[in-house]
Structure 1
């Protein structure tokens, strides 16, 4: 196998989802542009070009409001699975392994292996930061995308206000508007439902060959097993 083929194989999951993300984003841009222009015409306004739509607050808020909910989902799941378990789920740790576990279990400090990441070895603040880096990054991306949603949503909301000859609101005022919380909570509830459903359904259902599923013949009560 040549080097290019090996890179594609070794990174297939990330590359596939990255490609699907770009296709979906492009499709959203085209469909959103068509919908936006339909609304413009219905309101007696001129349609806009695709470039103008893609740089508009309307498109921006539609994109980032989904991003923030996705990263919230993973941020909460990463933290929750440290302490909470689900009997029989491959998405859960063993029932008696709640908490942050010992240094020996986590291969940090004197228990680090030669091939462990550099910051797993010292046992000082660097190890503390690295041992929580996934949650920190997911949480930071969630907060940044949520902040971006609030700004883009504020701009889109004020554009609608001005279009209907109503007074615009301040950014702080927009945070108290139903529009902001409707956009936020309609995404949160769907993500939380999906995560909870996955954890519970994986107790009783199987997907052969997937590491997100238990082996087909595993008992329903077997916990933390993957296929």
Structure 2
């Protein structure tokens, strides 16, 4: 039980993710088959649907926007600050900070990660590894979304007796950018709202909130 409690955040959100993904698969299948029946076409099985371009584009267009949000948040908060928000660093700590504060180079500790103590290119890569991972996952998901969306779009084109597009042409299409931007704008709104609302509102015990009695002007202080 102690080990479960120690990993409850990752395990809990992992379970929520799987539950939501399974729910999306069944709900998406029902919606897809309703459209098939309305158009006089045959329905498909769950296995066929979850391996289809329709399901892939719906999933990946959400994943890519989430990881874009994480990437921008991780990188931009190095320099961007917000007075009074626990989501921000202290106002005078903009930038990558000193080696001493970041515990790199001669300031590395005995329990620091090996790549921190190694120095050179490995320390430089590790120093940006979180942002690099986030942008890599974002680009991978965006690529899969583009291919799956292209396949789905061309299926609709053929059903309407219209010419299909090449993949490069689809990347410049309204369909592709509509799918991307409708998710991006919601992520940017959510992050900006969280940074501002957390100046004035509190959630007792949450590391995403300041302590309940902390001044609205206090910046970079978590509960």
User: Is 1:82 matched with 2:40?
Assistant: no
1:148 maps to: 144
1:192 maps to: 188
2:48 maps to: 52
Aligned partner (choices 211, 217, 225) of residue 213 of structure 2: 217
Counterpart mapping for 1:104-183 below 5 A: 104-183=100-179
Deviation string, structure 1 residues 78-115 (Cα, Å, up to 9, x no partner): 01100010000000000000000000000001101111
Shift of 1:122: 2.7
Q: Which segments of 5 or more consecutive residues in structure 2 lack a partner in the other structure?
A: none
1:99 maps to: 95
Residues paired across the two proteins, number: 223
Deviation string, structure 1 residues 178-206 (Cα, Å, up to 9, x no partner): 11000000000000000000011000000
User: Is 1:24 matched with 2:20?
Assistant: yes
Shift of 1:46: 1.2
Q: Which segments of 5 or more consecutive residues in structure 1 lack a partner in the other structure?
A: none
Structure 1, 115-124 or 92-101: larger mean CA deviation: 115-124
SS in structure 2 at match of 1:83: coil
Deviation string, structure 1 residues 42-101 (Cα, Å, up to 9, x no partner): 111111111111111000000000000000000000011000100000000000000000
Partners of 1:176 and 1:28 lie apart in 2 by 28
Partners of 1:166 and 1:42 lie apart in 2 by 21
Aligned partner (choices 5, 11, 14) of residue 9 of structure 1: 5
Partners of 1:164 and 1:35 lie apart in 2 by 20
The TM-score normalised by the length of structure 2 is 0.99
Shift of 1:6: 2.2
Shift of 1:123: 2.6
Runs of 4+ in 1 over 2 A off after TM superposition: none
The TM-score normalised by the length of structure 1 is 0.97
Alpha-carbon RMSD across the aligned residues, in angstroms, is 0.7
